[in-house]
């Protein structure tokens, strides 16, 4: 990314992070008005990096900006949130496969045993498929979770992670369509 000043070189009293972020924002608007979106994107990322550096470590906004950075590159990447969603989906699918989940009035539960892992069968494949679907359902809705504290906690974490990643995907998509 091309820039006139490196964010790392700002010294106390010289220029504040807020002043530098404002300059980056104005330059970004200038590039966007001339339809130079690639250059505008560089300055948007620079502006957000400066905002991130300006916040104190104990500021909760810094955590959200970091999430925004790593999940969607500050809204510049539409594919990154989809990759995160897919990875989290598979991770939680494995959790539900081994922790258990309700299915058709019954309950699907795997035992973590070596013989079970060494002799896969059709029913096991169906159960794994069901855990993948249950994980997607947990991401997108509020299913009935089993009566365990662990299941309820992991279900809440999964719904929170899913909502966050989907929100960041929508923000990145909105940013892409505004161009």
Mean pLDDT for the stretch of residues 102-124: 65
Question: What pTM was computed for the model?
Answer: 0.72
Interatomic CA distance for residues 88 and 153, integer angstroms: 15
Using one digit for the tens of pLDDT, what is the confidence trace for 33-47? Answer: 888 777 888 877 888
* Report for 24-38, 112-126, 161-175: range of highest mean pLDDT: 161-175
């Amino acid at each position: 990314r091309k820039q006139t000043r490196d964010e790392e070189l700002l010294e106390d009293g010289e220029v504040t992070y807020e002043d530098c972020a404002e300059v980056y924002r104005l330059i970004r608007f200038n590039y966007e008005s001339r339809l130079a979106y690639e250059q505008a994107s560089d300055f948007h990322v620079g502006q957000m990096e400066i905002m991130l550096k300006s916040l104190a470590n104990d500021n909760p906004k810094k955590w959200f900006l970091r999430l925004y950075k790593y999940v969607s590159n500050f809204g510049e990447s539409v594919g990154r949130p989809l990759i995160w969603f897919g990875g989290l989906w598979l991770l939680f699918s494995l959790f539900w496969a081994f922790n258990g989940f309700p299915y058709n009035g019954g309950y699907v539960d795997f035992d973590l045993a070596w013989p079970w892992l060494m002799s896969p069968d059709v029913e096991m494949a169906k159960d794994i498929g069901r855990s993948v679907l249950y994980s997607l359902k947990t991401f997108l809705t509020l299913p009935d979770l089993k009566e365990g504290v662990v299941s309820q906690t992991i279900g809440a974490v999964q719904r929170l992670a899913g909502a966050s990643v989907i929100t960041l995907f929508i923000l990145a998509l909105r940013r892409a369509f505004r161009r």
